[in-house]
């Protein structure tokens, strides 16, 4: 665990509302936004682990891997395990499919998280599986849900781990995936007479490609790897090309990428977009994508979170659209609240603020109960209108711990939190 004194001005959440031990080591977690009382925990287990082996290490395929998907129901302050689906491969990542829009340029991005119940699962053994979250036949007043396997594909060699998977924001049959061999791959699911999956390599990192993320309009795909490279790929129909890459910003592997929507008039020096990145070097960074080829991305602010930043999830964002030109947005402060999974440092809640051209990051809260690697955390979507607090479920790897806790923004005092370094 990181020294909490570094964040002495943050809200410290020391105990979970509920905690329980899972059967296997949790690697990822995702709430189902169409059924926000349900979430899925993915697990990754080495059958004969070596000391310190986890999802980041030991790609030796002589070691057997297994995993599971655990479907849970959150009811008030209690978590109930509804179903455990065992898999003969390790689960590295899961992603629910997004709500698709006919005209994504008029899309309100208050909540850009998925809303359908189709789940893509990134697995070892070169596999990608697809599950649906379906209603169970029940006489209960509140019907339960269960996971049903719909398709299973092995588009890659069995000795390859699929590390990350993300749905395209507007195309229902397109996903991007990253591989332990460094490749960033576009996957197209063809649901014809025979359902199949087609793949196309977009880019290759020198080491593991840990993460990928689409821009809100789907025109750009970002990727990060263990080679410290952050790259951007232009996606225009069948035309795909890498338009920039940078290996100088991050001093260790790039493990998390979260694009955020900013009004065009507020972007720095004509930047094509703003992304938040996490790295093994423990730092959260706000990065402005360059406006033209041949130019480098610019770090706008950064903050040491005390542990490797493995995963980033939006909790709250300004009400913005891709074409928003409201003059009021050009003047007022904009704030984003983000949940960060920080590996050996546990979970952090971070606020990003933009005031004119100044960016700032501060830690609002830390959760201190985890005693091993926090790879997976998620926040329950669609909180009740009369409740300002957020329900959060976080996990830790070696101790197989799953914790339910709450963050109440009203308990955060003005000017509270460890602040970022401006660059």
Q: Considering the chain, what is the average pLDDT of its residues?
A: 85
Kindly give, in sequence order, each residue whose CB lies less than 8 Å from that of residue 381, ignoring residues fewer than 6 positions away. 31, 33, 36, 111, 113
Residues 119 and 40: their CA atoms lie apart, in Å, by 9
What is the pTM (predicted TM-score) of this model? 0.89
Of residues 34, 56, 44, the one with CA closest to residue 121 = 44
pLDDT at 290 over 70: yes
Residues 111 and 381: their CA atoms lie apart, in Å, by 8
Over residues 98-121, the mean pLDDT reads: 55
In 107-229, the DSSP E strands lie at: 118-123, 128-135, 145-153, 162-167, 174-179, 183-191, 195-204, 209-214, 220-225
Kindly give, in sequence order, each residue whose CB lies less than 8 Å from that of residue 133, ignoring residues fewer than 6 positions away. 32, 34, 35, 38, 40, 71, 117, 118, 119, 145, 146, 147
Residues 390 and 393: their CA atoms lie apart, in Å, by 10
Bridge partners, residue 195, by sequence: 191
Model pLDDT for residues 252-272, shown as the tens digit of each residue: 999 999 999 887 766 666 567
pLDDT at 1: 45
Residues 381 and 44: their CA atoms lie apart, in Å, by 25
Q: Is residue 34 very low, low, confident or very high in pLDDT (cuts 50, 70, 90)?
A: confident
Residues 402 and 386: their CA atoms lie apart, in Å, by 27
Whether 46 contacts 52, CB under 8 Å:
no
Q: Is residue 323 very low, low, confident or very high in pLDDT (cuts 50, 70, 90)?
A: low
Of residues 224, 201, 203, 220, the one with CA closest to residue 212 = 224
pLDDT at 418 over 80: no
Whether 368 contacts 4, CB under 8 Å:
yes
Kindly give, in sequence order, each residue whose CB lies less than 8 Å from that of residue 413, ignoring residues fewer than 6 positions away. none
Model pLDDT for residues 188-218, shown as the tens digit of each residue: 998 766 778 999 999 999 999 999 999 988 9
Place of tokens 């460890």: 418
pLDDT at 5 over 70: no
Beta-strand pair 18-21/401-407: antiparallel
Of residues 247, 162, 210, 265, the one with CA closest to residue 56 = 210
pLDDT at 77 over 90: yes
**What are the tokens at 76?**
């008030």
Model pLDDT for residues 156-170, shown as the tens digit of each residue: 999 999 999 999 998
Kindly give, in sequence order, each residue whose CB lies less than 8 Å from that of residue 281, ignoring residues fewer than 6 positions away. 250, 251, 252, 308
pLDDT at 262: 86
The rounded Cα 110 to chain-centroid distance in angstroms is 17
Residues 183 and 133: their CA atoms lie apart, in Å, by 30
Q: What percent of the chain has pLDDT over 70?
A: 79
pLDDT at 309: 98
Beta-strand pair 254-260/239-246: unpaired
Bridge partners, residue 352, by sequence: 336, 361
pLDDT at 420 over 70: no
pLDDT at 402: 98
Model pLDDT for residues 351-384, shown as the tens digit of each residue: 999 987 789 999 999 998 998 999 999 999 876 6
Q: What distances in angstroms separate CA 116 from CA 70, 123, 131, 314, one per listed residue?
A: 18, 21, 11, 18
């Amino acid at each position: 665990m990181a020294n909490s004194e570094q964040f002495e001005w943050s809200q410290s959440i020391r105990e979970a509302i509920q905690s329980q031990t899972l059967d296997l080591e949790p690697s990822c977690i995702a709430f189902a936004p169409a059924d926000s009382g349900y979430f899925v925990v993915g697990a990754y287990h080495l059958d004969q682990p070596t000391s310190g082996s986890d999802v980041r290490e030991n790609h030796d395929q002589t070691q057997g891997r297994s995993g599971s998907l655990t479907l849970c129901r959150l009811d008030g302050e209690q978590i109930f395990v509804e179903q455990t689906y065992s898999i003969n491969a390790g689960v590295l990542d899961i992603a629910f499919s997004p709500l698709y829009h006919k005209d994504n340029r008029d899309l309100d991005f208050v909540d850009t998280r998925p809303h359908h119940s189709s789940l893509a699962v990134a697995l070892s053994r070169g596999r990608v599986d697809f599950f649906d979250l379906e209603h169970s036949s029940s006489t209960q007043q509140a019907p339960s849900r269960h996971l049903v396997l719909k398709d299973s594909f092995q588009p890659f060699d069995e000795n390859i781990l699929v590390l990350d998977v993300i749905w395209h924001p507007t195309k229902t049959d397109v996903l991007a995936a990253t591989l332990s061999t460094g490749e960033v791959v576009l996957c197209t699911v063809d649901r014809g007479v025979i359902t199949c999956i087609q793949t196309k390599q977009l880019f290759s990192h020198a080491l593991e490609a840990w993460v990928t993320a689409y821009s809100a309009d789907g025109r750009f795909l970002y990727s990060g790897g263990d080679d410290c490279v952050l790259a951007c790929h232009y996606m225009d129909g069948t035309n795909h090309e890498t338009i920039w890459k940078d290996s100088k910003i991050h001093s260790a592997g790039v493990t998390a990428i979260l694009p955020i929507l900013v009004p065009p008039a507020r972007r720095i020096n004509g930047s094509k977009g703003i992304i938040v990145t996490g790295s093994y070097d423990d730092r959260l960074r706000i990065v402005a994508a360059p406006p033209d080829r041949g130019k480098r991305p610019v770090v706008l602010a950064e903050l040491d979170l005390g542990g490797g930043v493995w995963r980033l999830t939006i909790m709250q964002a300004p009400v913005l659209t891709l074409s928003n030109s409201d003059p009021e947005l050009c003047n007022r402060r904009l704030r984003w609240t983000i949940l960060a999974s920080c590996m050996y440092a546990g979970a952090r809640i971070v606020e990003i603020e933009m005031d004119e051209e100044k960016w700032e990051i501060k830690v609002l809260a830390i959760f201190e109960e985890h005693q091993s690697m926090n790879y997976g955390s998620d926040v329950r979507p669609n909180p009740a209108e009369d409740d300002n607090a957020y329900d959060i479920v976080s996990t830790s790897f070696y101790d197989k711990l799953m914790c339910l806790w709450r963050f109440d923004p009203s308990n955060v005092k003005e000017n509270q939190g460890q602040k970022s370094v401006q660059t």
